[in-house]
Amino acid sequence: MSEGPEVRIIADKLSTVLLGREIIDAYGKGIEAEVKSDLMGAKVNKIETFGKNIVISFSSRIFLRNHMMMWGKWRIYERTLFDQGLAHPPPRSLWYRKGKADKNRRGKASIVRVDNQVDARNDSRVRLVLLTASHAAVQFNGPVIQFSHKHPSSVSPIALLGPDPLNNKKKYDKNLVLTRFEERQGKLLSDLLLDQTFVAGVGNKYKSEILFQVKLCPFIKASELSRSKRVKLTNQIHKTLLFGYHNNGRTRLAQSNGALKDKWTARYWVFRRAGQLCWICGITNIQMDRKRTRRVTYWCPNCQGCR
């Protein structure tokens, strides 16, 4: 899942092995000979993020824009392991539907992780490989890999993005966010937060977490919020994304004790916790909705005042 904080975490990791390094070789699906020529021998000058986009600038004045959507993954390998075929790709996620006889799953789709222990170089999901003298940076399943001679931030879609709470170069413009509230008053809050022209970097996980933290119902329209609540929501977007970035994608810190300390769902307030008791009120179960909004939404009916 590649939302703003996770994308920036990945960019930081890429920077540790690519920044200032010369590209010895580059290959992947659909890379034209001209692009490969521009990359060979070039150094990586800068790695930036714009919302959910990673932009890599090379000394040969070519740029790479990568958007991972929900499936893309970067992996970094030492060259010795990669060249010897000892670098393993990410486990595959296989969807399957359980039978009706399995009452625990009620016929719902499940995910199984499968690690085939194959050579990463031969994995069919590889979209791009960037090789330096010491490391291999490999992009798996990234649906958007675009090379250009214009900086991607100057053209669509990045040029259309709203303020980015995690942008190091440009301060998060809270006044602009409030202005964009006025322009999008007819949108439900759960859909508004997914609008990348409103604020860049918020995805489905952070959408639900942010609205829970400010105790706002996901299914009310932006026009129903008072000025003070809009300001509160605008501030919380910044706080939650920054928290996620500094805490490896968490929105909730692990508790110091208890059986749930290391459980995956203990990382979040409501996200993917449908049917479980709310961490705050302990009164109602977290709810999940797939019909009223563009994407699945999680919320606490008691804390957020909606049913």
pLDDT at 61: 95
Residue 121 has pLDDT above 90, yes or no: yes
> In the sheet where 135-140 sits, what is the strand order?
25-28, 126-131, 135-140, 73-78
What residue type is 296 in one-letter code? V
Residue 137 has pLDDT above 60, yes or no: yes
Confidence class for position 193, pLDDT limits 50, 70, 90: very high
- What does the pLDDT look like over 278-295, one tens digit per residue? 999 998 899 999 988 878
- What does the pLDDT look like over 233-273, one tens digit per residue? 999 999 999 999 999 999 998 764 454 555 767 899 999 99
pLDDT at 103: 41
What's the sign of the alpha-carbon dihedral 116, 121, 124, 126? positive
pLDDT at 11: 97
Question: Smallest Cα–Cα separation from 193: which of 182, 183, 180, 203?
Answer: 203
Structure tokens belonging to residue 124:
């069919």
- Mean model confidence pLDDT for the chain: 89
CA distances to 11, 44, 302 from 136, rounded to whole Å, are 15, 13, 49
Residue 100 has pLDDT above 60, yes or no: no
Q: What is the dihedral of CA 150, 156, 157, 159, to 10 degrees?
A: 80
What residue type is 21 in one-letter code? R
Secondary element (H or E) of residue 256:
none
Structure tokens belonging to residue 293:
């909004």
Provide the residue ranges of all domains of the chain, joining segments of one domain with +: 4-87+125-160, 174-304
- What does the pLDDT look like over 45-98, one tens digit per residue? 999 999 999 999 999 999 999 999 988 999 999 999 999 999 999 988 665 444
- Topology agreement, domain 4-87+125-160 and domain 174-304: no
- What does the pLDDT look like over 24-34, one tens digit per residue? 999 998 788 99
Residue 246 has a CB neighbour count (10 Å cut-off) of 10
Question: Which one-letter DSSP state was computed for residue 195?
Answer: -
CATH level 3 topology of 174-304: Helicase, Ruva Protein; domain 3 (1.10.8)
Residue 101 has pLDDT above 90, yes or no: no
Confidence class for position 133, pLDDT limits 50, 70, 90: very high
Cβ 155 vs Cβ 149: under 8 Å: no
Please classify residue 278 by burial: count the beta carbons closer than 10 Å to its beta carbon, then call 0-12 exposed, 13-18 middle and 19+ buried: buried
CATH level 3 topology of 4-87+125-160: N-terminal domain of MutM-like DNA repair proteins (3.20.190)
Is 255 strand, coil or helix? coil
